[in-house]
Chains A and B, each alone.
Chain A
Amino acid sequence: GQNIDQPTEMTATEGAIVQINCTYQTSGFNGLFWYQQHAGEAPTFLSYNVLDGLEEKGRFSSFLSRSKGYSYLLLKELQMKDSASYLCAVRGGSNYQLIWGAGTKLIIKP
């Protein structure tokens, strides 16, 4: 079956660093995505990994290990506006469409 696991909720302090993990088991794999979703709003694209390694984009970085079925999203220099849910999604399965995790709600405290 298809399964994507990520923590339900995390708390971090403004200015700090936080790592949000995602593990997956899918019948096929053609890329892993991270999206950000503020409460009551639409998800917006953050990053895409298809090869192993780290992709850095400003304060956000995403890592992938295909052999371990594992990814993480690293957020540096946290700001209050980073309070949101972070959604991990894998393009896989029989139709290579996105399979989504339930999301990690990140709470930033001053």
Chain B
Amino acid sequence: DADVTQTPRNRITKTGKRIMLECSQTKGHDRMYWYRQDPGLGLRLIYYSFDVKDINKGEISDGYSVSRQAQAKFSLSLESAIPNQTALYFCAAGQGDEQFFGPGTRLTVL
């Protein structure tokens, strides 16, 4: 079984819509992360959380929000999607040095 799962795997939406991407992990890692990946660019950190009551902004948090509902769950929301948020989104979880990534969500905003 995969350690980190993401839903949905693919999503097409329209400008202005609210979107939630969900992430779950089964290994009890304290730390969880949301990244986006764009062609020709490195992974960029959106938000990260070290435990249920801890939320931190990453490099590119504008236009996004997150919720750490439980140790195992970390969701990412786009309150009003815009086309330049079209990207591949990865959730990751980890305890120490290594991060374990989910399979990614490909989001297209029209």
Contacts and interface: CB of A to CB of B under 8 A. Distances in A.
Interface of A: 4, 8, 31, 33, 41-45, 48, 87, 89, 95, 97-103
B42 A44 contact: no
Contacts of B98: 45, 48
A44 B101 contact: yes
Given A42-B102, A48-B97, A87-B43, 5 more contacts: A42-B104, A48-B98, A97-B58, A98-B43, A100-B43
Most buried by B among A41, A97, A98, A99: A98
Interface of B: 4, 33, 40-45, 48, 56, 58, 90, 97-104
A97 B101 contact: no
B76 to A, nearest CB: 16
29 contacts: A4-B42, A8-B40, A33-B97, A41-B103, A41-B104, A42-B90, A42-B101, A42-B102, A42-B103, A42-B104, A43-B43, A43-B90, A44-B101, A45-B98, A45-B99, A87-B42, A87-B43, A89-B42, A95-B56, A97-B33, A97-B45, A97-B48, A97-B58, A98-B43, A98-B45, A98-B99, A99-B42, A102-B42, A103-B42
